[in-house]
């Protein structure tokens, strides 16, 4: 009993200590665990903060990247020409391989760069800065190289329903783009758009002898100047206004007009009228010749079992081609030999011919009409007829006949010769210099009107991939005068295909039809 | 000559075949994509319509008005829901791709509501003040009669029609850089409900758990809450139409569905979801 009481007493004394010890141990363990958890939480916090910081940096970098946009398209095609002056007359080609880089560092300021990649060649098509007004959202200023303001010019090849632009547009707006500045006014609440632009004006135009090349000592013939540099001090103004009407769910109509007011350096003293009659003599070759025209456009959209578009444009005015001061060509020949007694006289004639061409201002007109029908989401058929008369002042029989041919003899030096008397050998020289300037321009191939039918079908495999089959039928007007043998007087430059040289006689209709099979990828 | 006749015959047959395929009856599936603001409304419409038309399947997705319009242009949706009108650049894309201006059908009216945290002392703001707040010119609540606390901004992503509409009508410039963009009005409402210094905007149909802010046209005008009455009367200053867009005039099942949406039955749903009917 006593032992039991002692056991209880001891237990009563020891157990609390034991309990206390266990509790203390547990508490210490919990505290240790808490410390560990705290440490872990702290570590995790640091890690999360680090991740957040990295995320913020990544987001900032990503935000910068979203300001850069890439778009572009590739057009690969097979072409079959029915023209006899082309060889090979069927081939695959890359028509377009373009990537458009758009960078908008701040809202409303856009930088655009669009190179075109061709096998062995890279050219810059668009390069401009666009500043949009942030307040009225109405005004945009473009500076750089960009499309001229015209409906068909600004309508991208990637969207066009037929393979190429109309002949008149290709003639008056070669290369589509020009270097200059443009103001666009497009109020968000009114469906009107006004474009006013100023350009160098000679972009894409081939000019004979535009510059003297001091390196080669010759005039650079047929150089294309003005792709990226100006040729003269004249600047060309363009303006275009369009207004869009909507007819509710039935469709809409956009009408517009554009005008071109400019000059190009004549590059010659003589200027001809459109009918090749003489117009005037300029004070110097730096004077300008006119490039003035106006155009009217309309695009009608209707919903007739799917989308239907009827659109067209008519342009007329005066377009001038610069002349050139040609390089001299020398002909040296011994004209006569005279022997008297022991004196031998050699008369050497040196003829120097300078070929000049006058500038000419041609009255032209051109138009095109498209009929486009979308069938379902994927199919589109289009028909276009376009007509271009590069010289409205010449009738068909005047082409090849009307010409300006002024031969101006100048600088005939008095005959000079020097005689030497002697026995053997006898040397004598005599030189006569004569300079003739031929200044001529003959109507011909450049004045022939063309009408072209184009039929095309496009299939949109997806929104990015389009297949197109198109058939173009350019038809020249039969021009010139046919002689008794049946030969016309308007012929092309000779062309040689497989060693056979021929020409086109434009008193006939020349077969120049073309089949195009195209695949386009757009992104 | 013979070969050209053959070519013409083949071309004719291909054309007829193409037209035939194009007008073949399409399966009864309608896809609807676009505005997040309208997604609840569009889902409700689809749900009710499919009950009474079990042979029609309607698939509704959001993503924002811009996303919907892109889908309309690239042909991946039949109907685009948009809380803003088409931009001229978007209409140009429709012209180029489909020879069409698109068909615009206003199907509901909405007031852009300003959401405040329920604990916020501010109860009304003018359009000018809202513009200054969301452009970052006003940064503290005390500048508009509230406590001395930094204003935290919540808005929509730039693909949203609500983002564009609010920017054009209220902000009239760039949003402040610290405006947190969120995917959908519901997310904006949720963020503001948890942030006592937060302010956001969005469609009225989403406003639960937050305080609506009265809005006045200018300092001298009376402030209004976005309600059916004030929006119908044109008193609430930030109102807009909600649109459906199609590439062409609707036909077949799409037409039936659109007609139903515009019917009194469809417009009743507009009220139920918290927007305002157009008829």
Q: Could you state, in order of their start, the residue ranges of all structural domains in chain B? A: 23-108+242-273, 110-239
Q: How many CB atoms lie within 10 A of CB A272?
A: 26
* SS3 letters across A203-252: CCCEECCCCEECCCCEECCCEECCCCCCCCCCCEEEEEEEEEEECHHHEE
pLDDT, tens digit (0-9, with 9 covering 90-100), for B117-172: 999 999 999 999 999 999 999 999 999 989 999 999 999 888 788 888 899 889 98
Mean pLDDT of chain B: 87
CA distance A270 to chain B (A): 46
Tokens representing A210 are 């535009």
**Contact state of A135 with B19 under an 8 Å Cβ cutoff:** no
> Alpha helices, DSSP H only, in chain B?
2-22, 39-52, 65-74, 88-98, 127-135, 161-166, 185-194, 228-233, 252-262, 264-273
Using CA atoms, how far residue A113 sits from A69, A101, A127, A391, B158, in Å, is 11, 5, 4, 37, 24
CATH topology of domain B23-108+242-273: D-Maltodextrin-Binding Protein; domain 2 (3.40.190)
**Contact state of A375 with B174 under an 8 Å Cβ cutoff:** no
Residue B56: per-residue pLDDT: 93
Q: In this structure, which CATH number among 3.40.190.10, 3.40.50.1860, 1.10.287.3510, 3.30.420.10 belongs to the domain B110-239?
A: 3.40.190.10
Q: B32 and chain A: CB distance < 8 Å anywhere?
A: no
Chain A environment of B95 (Cβ under 8 Å): 299, 301, 309
pLDDT, tens digit (0-9, with 9 covering 90-100), for A253-300: 999 999 999 999 998 899 999 999 999 999 998 899 999 999 999 999
Chain B environment of A299 (Cβ under 8 Å): 95
How is residue B73 annotated by DSSP? H
Q: B249 and chain A: CB distance < 8 Å anywhere?
A: yes
Q: How many CB atoms lie within 10 A of CB B67?
A: 22
Peptide bond into A330 cis (omega under 30): no
Give the torsion sign (CA, B253, B258, B259, B265): positive
Question: Strand pairing partners for A466?
Answer: A460, A520
Residue B205: per-residue pLDDT: 61
Q: Out of A191, A375, A377, whose CB is closest to B75?
A: A377
Comparing B23-108+242-273 with B110-239, is the CATH topology the same?
yes
CA distance B22 to chain A (A): 5
Tell me which chain B residue has its CA closest to the CA of residue A186: B88
Tell me which chain B residue has its CA closest to the CA of residue A310: B99
Tell me which chain B residue has its CA closest to the CA of residue A375: B22
Residue A237: per-residue pLDDT: 98
**Contact state of B73 with A191 under an 8 Å Cβ cutoff:** no
Contact yes or no for A125/A98 (Cβ under 8 A): yes
At residue A82's C-alpha, the angle toward residues A473 and A366, to 5°, is: 30
Question: Strand pairing partners for A172?
Answer: none
Q: A309 and chain B: CB distance < 8 Å anywhere?
A: yes
Look at residue B208 and give its three-state secondary structure: coil
Q: What is the DSSP string of A269-338?
A: SEEE-TTS-EEEE-SSTT-EEEEEEEEEEEEEEEESSSEEEEEEEEEEEEEEE--EEEEEEEEEEEEEEE
Residue B25: per-residue pLDDT: 52
Residue A70: per-residue pLDDT: 94
Contact yes or no for A452/A367 (Cβ under 8 A): no
CA atoms within 13 A on the CB side of B185: 30
Could you say which residues of chain A have pLDDT below 50?
Answer: 417
Contact yes or no for B171/B199 (Cβ under 8 A): no
Q: Out of A249, A460, A463, whose CB is closest to B249?
A: A249
Question: Strand pairing partners for B216?
Answer: B126
Using CA atoms, how far residue A156 sits from A329, A430, B193, in Å, is 46, 66, 49
**Phi-psi group of A89: left, alpha or beta (phi > 0 → left; psi -120 to 50 → alpha; rest → beta):** alpha
Checking if the pLDDT of B11 tops 80, the result is no
**Contact state of B100 with A155 under an 8 Å Cβ cutoff:** no
Residue A1: per-residue pLDDT: 55
Chain A environment of B258 (Cβ under 8 Å): none
ipTM above 0.90, yes or no: no
Checking if the pLDDT of B1 tops 50, the result is no
Chain B environment of A159 (Cβ under 8 Å): 96-97
**Contact state of A376 with B23 under an 8 Å Cβ cutoff:** yes
The H or E element that residue A260 is part of is: strand A251-265
């Amino acid at each position: 009993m006593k032992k039991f009481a002692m056991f209880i007493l001891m237990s009563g004394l020891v157990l609390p200590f034991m309990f206390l010890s266990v509790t203390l141990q547990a508490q210490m363990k919990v505290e240790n665990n808490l410390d560990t958890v705290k440490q872990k939480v702290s570590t995790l916090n640091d890690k999360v903060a680090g991740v957040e910081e990295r995320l913020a940096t990544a987001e900032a970098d990503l935000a910068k990247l979203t300001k850069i946009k890439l778009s572009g398209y590739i057009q690969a095609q097979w072409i079959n020409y029915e023209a006899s002056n082309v060889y090979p007359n069927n081939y695959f080609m890359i028509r377009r391989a373009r990537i458009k880089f758009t960078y908008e560092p701040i809202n409303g300021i856009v930088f655009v760069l669009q190179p075109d990649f061709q096998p062995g060649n890279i050219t810059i098509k668009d390069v401009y800065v666009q500043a949009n007004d942030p307040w009225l959202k109405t005004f945009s200023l473009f500076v750089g190289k960009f499309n001229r303001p015209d409906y068909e010019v600004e309508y991208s090849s990637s969207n066009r329903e037929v393979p190429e632009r109309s002949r008149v547009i290709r003639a008056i707006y070669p290369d589509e783009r020009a270097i200059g500045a443009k103001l666009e006014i497009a109020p968000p609440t009114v469906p009107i758009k006004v474009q006013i632009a100023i350009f160098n004006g000679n972009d894409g135009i081939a000019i004979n002898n535009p510059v003297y090349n001091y390196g080669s000592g010759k005039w650079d013939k047929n150089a294309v100047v003005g792709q990226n540099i100006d040729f003269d001090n004249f600047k060309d103004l363009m303006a275009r206004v369009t207004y869009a009407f909507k007819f509710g769910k039935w469709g809409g109509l956009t009408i517009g007009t554009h005008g071109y007011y400019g000059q190009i350096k004549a590059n010659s003293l003589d200027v001809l009228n459109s009918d090749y009659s003489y117009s005037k003599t300029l004070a110097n070759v730096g004077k300008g010749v006119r490039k003035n025209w106006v155009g009217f456009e309309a695009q009608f959209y209707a919903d007739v079992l799917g989308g239907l578009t009827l659109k067209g444009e008519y342009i007329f005015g005066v377009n001038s081609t610069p002349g050139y001061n040609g390089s001299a060509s020398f002909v040296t020949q011994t004209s006569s030999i005279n022997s008297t007694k022991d004196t031998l006289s050699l008369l050497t004639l040196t003829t120097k011919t300078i070929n000049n061409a006058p500038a000419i201002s041609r009255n032209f007109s051109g138009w095109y009409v498209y009929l486009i029908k979308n069938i379902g989401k994927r199919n589109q058929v289009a028909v276009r007829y376009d007509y271009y008369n590069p010289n409205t002042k010449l009738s068909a029989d005047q082409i090849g006949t009307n010409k300006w041919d002024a031969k101006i003899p100048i600088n005939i030096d008095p005959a000079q010769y020097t005689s030497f008397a002697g026995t053997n050998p006898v040397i004598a020289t005599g030189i006569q210099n004569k300079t003739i300037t031929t200044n001529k321009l003959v109507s011909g191939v450049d004045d022939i009107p063309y009408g072209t039918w184009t039929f095309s079908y496009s299939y949109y495999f997806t929104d990015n991939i389009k297949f197109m089959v198109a058939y173009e039928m350019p038809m020249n007007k039969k021009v010139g005068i046919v002689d008794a043998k049946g030969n016309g007087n308007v012929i092309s430059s000779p062309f040689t295909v497989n060693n056979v040289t021929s020409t086109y006689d434009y008193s006939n209709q020349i077969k120049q039809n073309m089949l195009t099979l195209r695949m386009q990828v757009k992104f | 000559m013979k070969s050209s006749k053959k070519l013409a015959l083949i071309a004719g047959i291909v054309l007829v075949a193409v037209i035939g395929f194009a007008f073949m009856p399409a399966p009864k599936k309608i896809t609807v994509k676009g505005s997040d603001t309208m997604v609840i409304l569009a889902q409700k419409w689809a749900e009710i319509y499919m009950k009474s038309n079990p042979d029609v399947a309607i698939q509704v997705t959001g993503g924002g008005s811009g996303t919907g319009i892109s889908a309309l242009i690239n042909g991946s949706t039949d109907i685009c829901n948009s809380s803003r009108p088409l931009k001229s650049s978007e209409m140009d894309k429709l012209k180029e791709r489909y020879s069409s201006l698109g068909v615009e059908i206003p199907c509901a009216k909405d007031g852009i509501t300003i959401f405040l945290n329920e604990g916020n002392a501010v109860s009304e703001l003018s359009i000018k003040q809202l513009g200054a707040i969301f452009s970052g010119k006003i940064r503290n609540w005390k500048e508009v009669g509230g406590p001395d606390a930094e204003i935290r901004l919540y808005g929509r992503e730039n693909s949203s029609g609500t983002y564009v509409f609010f920017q054009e009508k209220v902000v009239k410039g760039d949003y402040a850089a610290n405006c947190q963009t969120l995917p959908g009005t519901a997310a904006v409402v949720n963020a503001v409900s948890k942030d006592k210094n937060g302010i956001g905007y969005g469609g009225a149909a989403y406003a639960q758990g937050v305080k609506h802010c009265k809005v006045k046209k200018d300092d001298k005008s009376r402030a209004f809450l976005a309600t059916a009455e004030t929006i119908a009367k044109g008193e609430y200053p930030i109102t807009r139409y909600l649109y459906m867009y199609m590439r062409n005039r609707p036909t077949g099942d799409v037409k039936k569905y659109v007609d139903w949406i515009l019917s009194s039955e469809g417009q009743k749903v507009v009220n139920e979801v918290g927007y305002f009917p157009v008829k």
